[in-house]
């Protein structure tokens, strides 16, 4: 249960970190909060030759408001994202989802860049980023590029980042809201104990107009397969409806009809599919009720 | 390559030379001989190793000693006040918040900031606060009782509230 030997560097700028990563080759790894990577080292599931610790790269620890978007530095801790006033105001679903991420001690270390790069289909934040049309900035000695998270998340623990790229920022655009509508959102998951990785979950953002008609919907699924998932088909069922219970049940059924959750000792495939369906139903109903309460 | 680090722990400065692979738990226990910080799972699940890193509760088993260079830590050894158990520790004692005591340092370090904040919490909120700490003995109820007791306003003849 001890990490294998590795070299360690603690750069203080993104430039230095990028150079170390480029020179370090395939066996070099970035260390952010360490809340996923260090357990993997302790269990000897990973054996990097070099760890490049980003914790001293203070330029990655900001949350900035830019034109129509929020830019969150990769090193911002889960607890800081969840507690930030702009996040609460513009992306309440992200703050709500972070409440389900692990435990307080882990949220004090884990970072938004880390959970995004880790690409775990059971992680809450990637699902919300997908539903929010977020992008990341990937930086290397070769320059930098923007990647939509939909293109970033390839499979379980696999992203489209090149080995020499560092995520420096996560960018979440402000939601485009039609005038006269009210938005509600909700994240629902089932875990044996609060903070543990969930058996499954669902998330929803719905936009209701003054007549109570759903103008826009986003439906996200937690733990539904090899990557964070969004169901456009479920959103299509919800849009232009009044979000009556039957419609929402149908949307949850459509969302989960073809998913293949990874079964394990905590729940087999069929059980997880049912949990995700029920959580998705509850998420849409709760989001709708929040929006309606706002309309009233 | 070994590295020289300087760390402040419980108000004392320590200089040591460590391998990058040394976990912060092993540094605290074996290099500094502060064995109050316990090690249960060594992969971030049980919370027994909770310490304060620059004032915030973290799990020391998923941090490296080299990462503590230039930082300030507190361990369970820092809680007692002038050789006497502090209010939270007394509450654990009086409410039977521990049996074997293996998990206790982690619970105390997780809960000390909660008690310091001084806000009254519901039982559900207390359970949420301790969700990252495992205890195989108490069944948790006595720990919840201890937190309630530590948070209760002082009474002249109260339990954990007397000084
Ligand atoms: C007991 C326990 C329970 C947990 N429960 C949950 C949970 O319920 N939900 C959940 O979502 N998470 C959970 N986590 C994981 C936690 O949220 C992690 O913090 C997160 O997944 C990874 O973030 P990190 O900053 O710790 O990354 P690290 O562990 O430091 O890194 C993870 C990976 O990302 C890479 N990386 C990190 N930063 C960057 C970057 N800027 N650019 C490119 N690559 C990078 C690293 O090289 C590594 O491969 C849990 C962890 C533990 C120990
Ligand atoms: S020993 Fe650190 S969490 Fe279990
Ligand atoms: S008192 Fe024994 S594990 Fe908690």
Residue count of chain A, please give it: 296
**Does residue A287 sit in the same domain as residue A193?**
yes
What CATH number is given to the structural domain containing A95? 3.30.465.10
What residues form DSSP beta bridges with A136?
A: A147, A170
**Does residue A66 sit in the same domain as residue A49?**
no
CA distance B1 to B21: 10
Ligand 3 mutation target, pool B76, B110, B138, most atoms within 8 A of CB? B138
Nearest to A63 by CA among A79, A54, A52, A74: A74
% of chain A surpassing 90 pLDDT:
92
Q: Which pLDDT band holds residue B161 (cuts at 50, 70, 90)?
A: very low
Q: How far is the CA of B34 from the centre of ligand 3 (A)?
A: 19
For B57, the closest of A43, A102, A108 (CB atoms) is A108
Domain end position, chosen among A173, A203, A224: A173
Residue A240 contacts residue A258 (beta carbons within 8 Å): no
Extract the tokens encoding A74.
């990769």
Domain end position, chosen among A173, A194, A215: A173
Beta-strand pair A200-208/A50-53: unpaired
Q: Best mutation site among B20, B108, B111, B124 for testing chain A: the one with the most A CBs within 10 Å? A: B20
Extract the tokens encoding A159.
């992203």
Beta-strand pair B3-9/B12-18: antiparallel
User: Which ligand places an atom closest to the C-alpha of B47?
Assistant: 2
The answer to whether B132 contacts A193, with C-beta atoms less than 8 Å apart, is no
Q: Is residue A248 situated within a structural domain?
A: yes
Cα dist from B148 to B78, B94, B126, B153, whole Å: 22, 12, 8, 10
Per the structure, the complete domain to which residue A150 belongs is given by: 62-173
Domain count, chain A: 3
Extract the tokens encoding A75.
């090193």
**Does residue A70 sit in the same domain as residue A128?**
yes
Q: Is residue A296 situated within a structural domain?
A: no
pLDDT tens-digit series, residues B39-94: 999 999 999 999 999 999 999 999 999 999 999 999 999 999 999 999 999 999 99
**Angle of CA points A276, A281, A283, to nearest 5°:** 90
Class of the CATH-defined domain B87-151: mainly alpha
For B43, the closest of A39, A102, A104 (CB atoms) is A39
SS (H, E, C) B25-87: HHHHHHHCCCCCCCCCCCCCCCCCCEEEECCEEEEHHHCEHHHHCCCEEECHHHCCECCECCH
* DSSP H/E element including B127: helix B123-129
pTM: 0.95
CA distance B143 to B153: 18
Q: Is residue A1 situated within a structural domain?
A: no
**Which residues contact residue A148 at a Cβ distance below 8 angstroms, ignoring those fewer than 6 apart?**
A133, A134, A135
Q: Is residue A144 situated within a structural domain?
A: yes
pLDDT tens-digit series, residues A100-118: 999 999 999 999 999 999 9
In this predicted structure, the answer to whether residue A15 has a pLDDT above a threshold of 60 is yes
What region does B16 belong to: left with phi over 0, alpha with psi -120 to 50, or beta?
beta
**Does residue A35 sit in the same domain as residue A97?**
no
Query: Which CATH code for domain B3-78?
Result: 3.10.20.30
What end-to-end distance do the CA atoms of chain B give, in Å?
50
pLDDT tens-digit series, residues B1-33: 899 999 999 999 999 999 999 999 999 999 999
The answer to whether A8 contacts B66, with C-beta atoms less than 8 Å apart, is yes
ipTM over 0.85: yes
Q: Best mutation site among A105, A118, A193, A266 for testing chain B: the one with the most B CBs within 10 Å? A: A105
- Collapsing DSSP states into helix, strand and coil, what is residue B11? coil
Q: Where are the domains of chain B?
A: 3-78, 87-151
In this predicted structure, the answer to whether residue A135 has a pLDDT above a threshold of 70 is yes
Q: Locate the chain B residue with the closest alpha carbon to A47.
A: B21
**Does residue A186 sit in the same domain as residue A218?**
yes
What residues form DSSP beta bridges with A139?
A: A144, A166
In this predicted structure, the answer to whether residue B157 has a pLDDT above a threshold of 80 is no
- Collapsing DSSP states into helix, strand and coil, what is residue A282? helix
**Does residue A161 sit in the same domain as residue A211?**
no
pLDDT tens-digit series, residues A189-226: 999 888 889 999 999 999 999 999 999 999 999 999 99
| Residue A142 confidence (pLDDT) | 97
What CATH number is given to the structural domain containing A28? 3.30.43.10
Q: Is residue A2 situated within a structural domain?
A: no
Cα dist from A174 to A86, A106, A133, A181, B104, whole Å: 11, 28, 9, 15, 44
Whether the CB of B37 sits within 6 Å of ligand 3: no
Q: Which pLDDT band holds residue B163 (cuts at 50, 70, 90)?
A: very low
- Which is more confident, A249 or A193? A249
Q: Locate the chain B residue with the closest alpha carbon to A3.
A: B21
**Does residue A69 sit in the same domain as residue A112?**
yes
């Amino acid at each position: 249960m001890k990490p294998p030997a590795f070299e360690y560097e603690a750069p203080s700028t993104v430039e230095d970190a990028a150079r170390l990563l480029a020179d370090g080759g395939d066996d070099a790894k970035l260390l952010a909060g360490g809340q996923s990577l260090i357990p993997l080292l302790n269990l000897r599931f990973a054996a990097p030759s070099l760890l490049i610790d980003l914790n001293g790269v203070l330029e990655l620890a900001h949350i900035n408001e830019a034109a129509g978007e929020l830019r969150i530095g990769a090193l911002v801790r889960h607890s800081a994202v969840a507690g930030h006033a702009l996040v609460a105001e513009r992306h309440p679903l992200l703050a709500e989802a972070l409440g389900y991420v692990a435990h307080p001690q882990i949220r004090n270390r884990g970072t938004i860049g880390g959970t995004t790069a880790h690409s775990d289909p059971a992680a809450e934040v990637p699902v919300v980023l997908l539903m929010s049309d977020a992008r990341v900035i990937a930086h290397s000695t070769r320059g930098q590029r923007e990647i939509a998270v939909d293109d970033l998340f390839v499979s379980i623990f696999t992203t489209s980042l090149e080995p020499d790229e560092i995520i420096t920022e996560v960018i979440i655009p402000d939601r485009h809201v039609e005038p006269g509508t009210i938005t509600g959102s909700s994240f629902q998951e089932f875990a044996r104990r609060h903070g543990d990785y969930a058996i499954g979950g669902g998330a929803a953002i719905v936009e209701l107009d003054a007549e109570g008609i759903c103008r826009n919907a986003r439906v996200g699924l937690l733990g539904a397969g090899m990557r964070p998932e969004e169901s456009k088909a479920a959103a299509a069922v919800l849009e232009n409806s009044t979000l009556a219970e039957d419609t929402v049940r149908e949307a949850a059924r459509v969302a989960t009809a073809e998913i293949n959750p990874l079964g394990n000792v905590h729940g087999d495939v069929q059980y997880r599919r049912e949990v995700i369906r029920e959580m998705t139903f509850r998420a849409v109903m709760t989001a709708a009720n929040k929006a309606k309460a706002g309309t009233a | 390559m070994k590295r020289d680090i300087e760390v402040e722990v419980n108000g004392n400065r320590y200089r040591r030379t460590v391998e990058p692979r040394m976990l912060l738990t092993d540094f605290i226990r074996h290099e500094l001989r502060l064995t109050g910080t316990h090690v249960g799972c060594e992969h971030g699940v049980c919370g027994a190793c909770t310490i304060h890193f620059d004032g915030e509760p973290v799990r020391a088993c998923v941090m490296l000693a080299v990462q503590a260079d230039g930082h300030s830590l507190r361990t369970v050894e820092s809680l007692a006040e002038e050789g006497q158990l502090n209010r939270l520790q007394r509450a654990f004692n009086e409410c039977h918040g521990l049996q074997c005591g293996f998990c206790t340092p982690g619970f105390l370090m997780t809960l000390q900031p909660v008690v310091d904040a001084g806000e009254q919490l519901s039982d559900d909120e207390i359970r949420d606060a301790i969700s990252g700490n495992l205890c195989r003995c108490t069944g948790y109820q006595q720990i919840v009782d201890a937190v309630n007791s530590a948070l209760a306003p002082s009474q002249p003849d109260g339990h954990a509230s007397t000084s």
